[in-house]
Amino acid sequence: MFKKSQFQIKTPAEFNLMRKAGRVVALCLEEIREQIKPGMSTKDLDLIAENIMKKEGAIPSFLGYHGYPAVICVSVNEEVVHGIPKENKIIEDGDLVSVDCGAIIEGWHGDAAISICVGNAKVEHKELCNITKEAMFKGISAAKTGNHVGDIGYAIETFVKSHRDLSIGILEDYVGHGIGTQMHMPPSIPNYGSAGTGPKLEVGMAIAIEPMLVLGTNKVHVLEDEWTVVSSENSFASHWENTIAITENGPEILTKL
C-alpha cells in the first residue's frame, strides 16, 4: 500500500489548470516588465495586471486576501515584499521594483514574482537582482523527487553565500510555500536550510519557490500600512518567484507563457 501524502497531490489535469493560471500570471508580469518606466505610479502597474486578468477570465488571488487591497504587490527599493500599489507612489529612474502576482483559474492558483531594475540602476542593485533570480533557479533545480525541502533552501543559501563581494541577507520570516487550491499550503519552503532535511518532495506536489534577498543584514519590519515589508537598514531588496510542479521528469515551471 502507498502511504497517503500529507500534501496536496495534483493529477495531470489539475497541473494543466495550474499551467493556465500560471500563464496568466506570466502574461501580467511580462506586460508590466515591458511597460514599466519612470513617471508611472505603482497603481498603473496594478491596473495592467487587473485588465489582463479580466480579459483572460482569471481571478486575482491577492485582492481581498486577508484584506489585501490590490491585484499585485509592488515593492520598490528598500521595500522587500507586499508593497501596496498607490497612485502617488511614482517609479523613478534607477529604482529596483519587485512585482508579485497571483491568479486563479477554475479554483487553481499560480503565483510568481519578478524584480526589475528601471533605467540607470546601480551596478550592485543589478547584481542583487541577478543573484536573486539565479538563486531562484538554483532552488528550482533542487526541486526534484528524491530530494527534500531542505535541499531547495540549501541550494539557494549556498549560492547566495558564494557571492563574497556583496553582503546579502536572506529573509527568514518569509518563505516559499505549497500551492494548489489555495495560494498558501503546506509545506513551507525556506530559502535557507540543510541538505537532506525536511519533508520529501513527491510527484504531484506544487510549490512556490521565492527567494527574498536584501543587501546587508536580513533585518526587516512591517510598515504602518500593515503590509509593506521593508529592510530595517533601508537597503535595497529583490524578490523572484515561480510556481513549480514536481513531476517524474523533474521540476516544471508553471508560471510561464
Give the binding site for ligand MF3 (CB under 6 A). 62, 65-66, 68, 73, 82, 100, 102, 111, 177, 208, 210, 241
Interaction mask 86-115, Co ion, x per CB under 5 A: -------------------------x----
Number of neighbours of residue 12 by Cβ within 10 angstroms: 9
- Report the site for Co ion in 108-147 (rule: CB under 5 A): 111
Q: Is residue 212 a contact residue for Co ion (CB under 5 A)?
A: no
65 binds, among ligand MF3, Co ion, none (CB under 5 to 8 A by kind): ligand MF3
Q: Give dist(CA 150, CA 158) in Å, integer.
A: 12
Q: How far is the CB of 61 from ligand MF3 (least distance, A)?
A: 7
Q: Which is nearer to ligand MF3, 144 or 177 (CB)?
A: 177
Q: How far is the CB of 60 from ligand MF3 (least distance, A)?
A: 9
Q: How far apart are CA 48 and CA 71, in angstroms?
A: 10
Residue 174 lies near Co ion (rule: CB under 5 A): no
For Co ion, which is the closer residue by CB, 155 or 208?
Answer: 208
Given ligand MF3, Co ion, none, residue 78, with its beta carbon under 5 to 8 Å by kind, binds: none
The option from Co ion, ligand MF3, none interacting with 82 (CB < 5 to 8 A, set by class) reads ligand MF3
208 binds Co ion (CB under 5 A): yes
Smallest gap, in angstroms, from Cβ of residue 135 to Co ion?
Answer: 15
Nearest approach, Cβ of residue 139 and ligand MF3 (Å): 14
Q: Judged by CB under 5 A, does residue 242 bind Co ion?
A: no
Q: Which does 138 bind (CB under 5 to 8 A by kind): ligand MF3, Co ion, none?
A: none
